[in-house]
């Protein structure tokens, strides 16, 4: 087991960026609390990380779409006597389609997962961290936070919330030794697009998806350095730079063309 008693809690840790972040923490001998919906996938991930890195891995099978789940996570971890030194809010989902056609209940679940769960877990753990003047939080946002997103209007809006929320909290706690960092990936080769039923979009069919290993590395390094945020990937850095000067209406129209189904006219 890890010689130090530091723990990182990571949501959505069984696949994609969350899984790659879990490996980076384990490689640095952080013990882990990993949270996801599927107990079997959690157990498989825990066995792999324990065997490969020799760290303790605690699993919590929770569906963060459920409003009570974040508090259950906090209370169950506390009951185990575990202090969380790093919180990684990573779990998130989207839904593809025109807003007038998409399912409202699904979108409300996405808001619960992408926004409310982040707020709840951050509230619980940031209070503890500031009280002891030590700790780090990584909130996985997206370059979607800087871009109005036709065909993914609710998802982009949730990520804009995450970025604004993170930047505000960073200012509030700047007199402490606690840091909070936002990670802004672009389109990444994960299961996100399958879950969002987005495989037909141009951004998937014609785009160049990032490697989650590199995205996780960028986020991990920024977190450990105490940076305010990091945009992963040169192309995404350029796109977010352009977003700072281009009118929002033009940005939205550009994203509309990029995200519409690939078999439609541009």
Residues annotated as catalytic are 155, 159
Question: Which are the contacts of 126, defined by CB distance < 8 A and separation ≥ 6?
Answer: 87, 135, 137, 169, 173, 178, 180
Please give the order of strands across the beta sheet that includes 136-140: 57-61, 31-36, 7-11, 86-89, 136-140, 179-184, 229-231
d(CA 216, CA 214): 5
Structure-token pair, residue 173:
């706690």
Beta strands in the chain (DSSP E): 7-11, 31-36, 57-61, 86-89, 136-140, 179-184, 229-231
Structure-token pair, residue 37:
């919906």
d(CA 110, CA 92): 7
Is 162:139 a contact under the CB 8 Å cutoff?
Answer: yes
- Longest Cα–Cα distance of the chain, Å, equals 58
Which residue matches tokens 């780090």? 136
Which residue matches tokens 């305010």? 228
Which residues lie across from 124 on neighbouring strands? Answer: none
Kindly give the pairing relationship between strand 31-36 and strand 7-11: parallel
Query: CB count, 10 Å around CB of 191?
Result: 11
């Amino acid at each position: 087991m890890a010689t130090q008693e530091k723990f990182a809690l990571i949501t959505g840790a069984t696949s994609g960026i969350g899984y790659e972040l879990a490996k980076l923490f384990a490689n640095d001998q952080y013990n882990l609390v990993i949270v996801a919906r599927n107990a079997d996938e959690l157990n498989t991930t825990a066995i792999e990380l324990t065997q490969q890195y020799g760290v303790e891995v605690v699993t919590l099978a929770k569906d963060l779409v459920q409003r009570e789940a974040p508090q259950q996570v906090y209370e169950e971890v506390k009951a185990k006597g575990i202090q969380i030194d790093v919180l990684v809010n990573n779990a998130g989902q989207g839904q593809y389609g025109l807003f007038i056609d998409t399912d409202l209940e699904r979108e409300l679940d996405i808001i619960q997962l992408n926004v409310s769960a982040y707020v709840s877990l951050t509230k619980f753990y940031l209070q503890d961290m500031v009280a002891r003047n030590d700790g780090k939080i990584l909130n996985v946002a997206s370059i979607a936070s800087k871009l109005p997103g036709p065909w993914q209007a609710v998802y982009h809006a949730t990520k804009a919330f995450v970025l604004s929320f993170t930047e505000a909290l960073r200012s509030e706690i700047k007199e402490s030794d606690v840091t909070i960092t936002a990670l802004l990936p672009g389109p990444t080769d994960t299961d996100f697009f399958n879950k969002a039923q987005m495989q037909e979009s141009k951004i998937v069919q014609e785009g160049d998806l990032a490697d989650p290993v590199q995205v996780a590395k960028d986020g991990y390094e920024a977190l450990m350095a105490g940076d305010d945020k990091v945009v992963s990937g040169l192309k995404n850095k350029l796109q977010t730079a352009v977003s700072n000067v281009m009118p929002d209406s033009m940005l939205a129209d550009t994203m509309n063309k990029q995200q519409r189904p690939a078999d439609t006219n541009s």
